[in-house]
Amino acid sequence: MTIDGIVLHDLHLEDLQNPLHPSSYEEHEDYRILILSLPEKLKRKPHVHAYGFIIADATIYFYDPAIGELTPLDEGLGGMYRLLDEKIDPIMAEIETVSEKIILLEEDLYKKISRTFMNRWHDLKKELSRSERVLRKAVDVLDRFISKTKETERFPLNEFSDVHEHLERTLRSVSAANEQLDNLYHYYNLRSSDRLNRSIYLLTVISVIFLPLNLVVGFFGMNTGGLPFQDHPAGTAYAFVTMIVFALLLSMGVMWKIRKE
């Protein structure tokens, strides 16, 4: 493909046409190619989108996916800055929205353990982890592009530094949100483990009380002679009272042991 006398390699054109291409910056004899992959709004597919540029001297070409063509930007690097700035601002706003969702998830968890917690946590974690990887790569690539291009005449260094700072700030916000989700997960596991331990402890106490009673029931259920209360008219009542008293004594012993610990 040829653009204003510049021969663009077919593989580079394919990279520009790929909406999911990772961020990259390459220098060639006649042009440079910059691709910045940025997260899209969460819950929208695809979750990332690559924006491609061809830098040839003072002319900047942007690959417009809507028309499938490379179009020159009217203001060169200034137009490139404005285009990237417009794409980054919604990402920052979306991360703020996600942070608010995490706060609500945290408040719900402190109130009670919801059955939907893990589903909500997994959805947020998946999106934030992907966004963090994409943003980290974009920050590194944009930093390399600025370092290689800042000596160019009329390069808007302040503007591109501002875009880079916005990306870094967004990355820090995503990393903080990811860390907050990890803390919530650890807290959720602690509460779930505590509930499980309490359930096991309760079952153990019940077993301590009723296993001896099962032994007593089995003893009185033997088909042998000479059993206590066997010939007494109120033998069943005596045996029942004996079991109740035995259970109460065991319960008191267990409760005393619990309070002592």
List the CATH number of the domain containing 174: 1.20.58.340
Query: Which range of residues forms the domain containing residue 230?
Result: 201-260
Shared domain for 190 and 214, answered yes or no, is: no
pLDDT score, position 92: 84
At 36, is the pLDDT very low, low, confident or very high (cuts 50, 70, 90)? very high
Shared domain for 246 and 142, answered yes or no, is: no
Which of 258 and 124 is assigned the larger pLDDT?
124
DSSP label of 75? T
Percent of the chain with pLDDT over 70: 85
Shared domain for 87 and 70, answered yes or no, is: yes
Shared domain for 144 and 24, answered yes or no, is: yes
Q: What is the pLDDT averaged over residues 152-161?
A: 85
Q: What is the pLDDT averaged over residues 153-168?
A: 89
Shared domain for 32 and 148, answered yes or no, is: yes
Shared domain for 137 and 190, answered yes or no, is: yes
pLDDT score, position 40: 77
CATH number where 236 lies: 1.20.58
Shared domain for 28 and 91, answered yes or no, is: yes
Measured N-to-C along each axis, helices 157-220 and 235-260 cross at an angle, to the nearest 10 degrees, of 150
Amino acid, res. 1: M
For residues 51 and 35, is the Cβ–Cβ distance under 8 A? yes
Q: State the total domains in the chain.
A: 2
Structure tokens belonging to residue 251: 């319960």
pLDDT score, position 109: 83
Q: Which of 195, 211, 238 is the last residue of a domain?
A: 195
Shared domain for 242 and 212, answered yes or no, is: yes
223 has pLDDT over 70 = no
Shared domain for 253 and 190, answered yes or no, is: no
Shared domain for 126 and 217, answered yes or no, is: no
Shared domain for 81 and 107, answered yes or no, is: yes
Distance CA 159, CA 199 (A): 60
H helix or E strand, kind and range, residue 142: helix 117-149
pLDDT score, position 220: 65
Shared domain for 37 and 166, answered yes or no, is: yes
SS3 of residue 63 by DSSP: strand
User: What separation in angstroms does the CA of 144 have from each of 5, 32, 103, 139, 201?
Assistant: 27, 12, 35, 9, 59
